[in-house]
Amino acid sequence: MTTFSEKITSFFNQPAVEKGTIGVENGIPFGLARVSNSEIGIGGVYGTWGEAYDNLTLPNLLEARLGRPIPEEERLNLAELGFVNRHHISVLNNEQNTKVEVEVGALFLREAIHACGWDPEEIEGLLIGMSAPITENYLDQIARQAGLPDQALKIAIHKACDGSVSGLHLALNPDLPENHQLTKNIAQTLYGKKVMVGGIEGLSRFLNTSRDANALQLFGNAAGIIGVIPGQTMKFLAGSSREVFDKEGVLQVQMYYPHSAEKAVGESNVEVTQQDETNIRVAGLMHEPTNGTSIVMAGPMGMVKLFVRTGVQVVQEVYRAYQERLEQLGATGKSLAVAIVHHANYKINKLKEKNLQNLGISLPMPWLLSEFGNVSAASNMIAFLRQLPNLKPGDHILIDGFGAGTYYDTLAVELGG
């Protein structure tokens, strides 16, 4: 198994990372990196905010949050799981948390637009995955601050770690079930238009009410946003979504967003609602903790069991559909340049890779997020941006998202130029 050096440089200290401070409390540090590929026509921004904690300093934060010593048996081998650093903010009040996350969101959105070489007033769609939104009108606030036009379509996706990939899937695949729950098909509406897609995850704030030592060790803050033109710079080839409700509560997550919390037999766990002419919410049903805390999760092996079996099935289904699509295009010799997989932890990805290889499916699945921790819906966008400079027009890539609920979105796309 690959090992991850405890000496990986903090994100804030890496070359080309722009650093700054948000003026809340004693100042919240942030860092962001811009990425663009002019040949493909895609750019974006990723980064994080809060103090950096490595695996040696993290136990002190845990003990402060939980108010008790952390025995050895509760300490995860984080390096073995692929994580070396993550970022947290101190406990703030609701007004302060809102200010931090709105400023972060507007900043990252504005810089992602500039990385694409676009102007904010050109943007016609904004799709952002958020596990636990700080306010119901979060996208309205950051879009306004970033200078987007009022008529831009804003879609908030609450499907835990699957949020950003689900947003990209919505923007590219007109046959996705969620696109048939509305009078306005999102993919058809946004085809050929300048669209921003990503994940913004203030998980440090979300974890303030958690008493779960596993969650406190694994998660951290981060955001990743990309700009695409559906049908031009990114073209849909094949894809599938699936939901398998987590009845056992292996990963329990509080829904801090509107959802009826009910599901009739045969109906989807995902509720799609159009709040007004420019705001849509895609909300996934979660198995919520009964003790009122934000998150309760099984250990790493519990997560493996939750995500791997169905995850492999969905990837296999999409891979087969992709091969059929290649036959239709007369391009049967084409192969996938890379697989962009959500980084819940390294063991999950390696086991998925092994099971897929046993099925004759070999995918390059690089690990790219050691200095962030599990950052939920931001994960796939950061991984994509880190691969973007190496990609070429015409490349095919697989994007694989999965998260609590349990939700899966996997799609194969062609990069344009």
If we measure between CA atoms, which residue out of 236, 198, 230 comes closest to residue 41? 230
Residue 158 confidence (pLDDT): 98
* Tens of pLDDT, residues 325-375: 999 999 998 999 999 999 999 999 999 999 999 999 999 999 889 999 999
Residue 4 confidence (pLDDT): 59
Residue 166 confidence (pLDDT): 98
pLDDT band at 302 (very low <50, low <70, confident <90, very high): confident
Q: Which residues pair with 32 in a beta bridge?
A: 18, 47
Tell me: pLDDT of 5 over 70.
no
Q: Residue 23 domain-assigned?
A: yes
pLDDT band at 3 (very low <50, low <70, confident <90, very high): low
Tell me: pLDDT of 139 over 50.
yes
Q: Which of 6-15, 46-55, 216-225, 269-278 has the lowest mean pLDDT?
A: 6-15
The domain tally of the chain equals: 1
Residue 6 confidence (pLDDT): 55
Q: Residue 238 domain-assigned?
A: yes
pLDDT band at 36 (very low <50, low <70, confident <90, very high): very high
Q: Residue 1 domain-assigned?
A: no
Higher pLDDT, 182 or 205: 205
pLDDT band at 58 (very low <50, low <70, confident <90, very high): very high
User: Token pair of 408, please?
Assistant: 């899966």
Whose tokens are 């239709």? That residue is 328
Q: Is the pTM of this model over 0.85?
A: yes
Q: Residue 218 domain-assigned?
A: yes
Average pLDDT, the chain: 94
Residue 1 confidence (pLDDT): 41
* Tens of pLDDT, residues 75-120: 999 999 999 999 999 999 999 999 999 999 999 999 999 999 999 9
If we measure between CA atoms, which residue out of 279, 215, 227 comes closest to residue 115? 227
Residue 181 confidence (pLDDT): 86
Q: Residue 2 domain-assigned?
A: no
* Tens of pLDDT, residues 221-274: 999 999 999 999 999 999 999 999 999 999 999 999 999 998 777 789 999 999
* Tens of pLDDT, residues 269-291: 999 999 899 999 999 999 999 99
Angle among Cα 75, 76, 82 to the nearest 5 degrees reads 150
Q: Residue 6 domain-assigned?
A: no
Q: What is the mean pLDDT of residues 390-409?
A: 97
CATH number of the domain encompassing residue 85 = 3.40.47.10
Q: At what angle do helices 94-115 and 138-146 cross, to 10 degrees?
A: 50
Q: Residue 4 domain-assigned?
A: no
Q: Give me the domain span that covers residue 392.
A: 11-415
SS3 sequence, the chain?
A: CCCCCCCCCCHHHCCCCEEEEECCCCCEEEEEEEEEECCCCEEEEEEEECEEEECCCHHHHHHHHHCCCCCHHHCCCCCCCCCCEEEECCCCCHHHHHHHHHHHHHHHHHHHHHHCCCCHHHCCEEEEECCCCCCCCHHHHHHHHHCCCCCCEEEEEEECECHHHHHHHHHHCCCCHHHHCCCCCHHHHHCCCCEEEEEEECHHHHHHHCCCHHHHHHECCEEEEEEECECCCEEEEEEEEEECCCCCCCEEECCCCCCCCCCCCCCCCEEEEEEECCEEEEEECCCCCCCCCCEEECCHHHHHHHHHHHHHHHHHHHHHHHHHHHHHHCCCCCCEEEEEECCCCHHHHHHHHHHHHHCCCCCCCCCCCCCCCECHHHHHHHHHHHHHHHCCCCCEEEEEEEECCCEEEEEEEEECC
Q: Residue 99 domain-assigned?
A: yes
* Tens of pLDDT, residues 379-399: 999 999 999 999 999 999 999
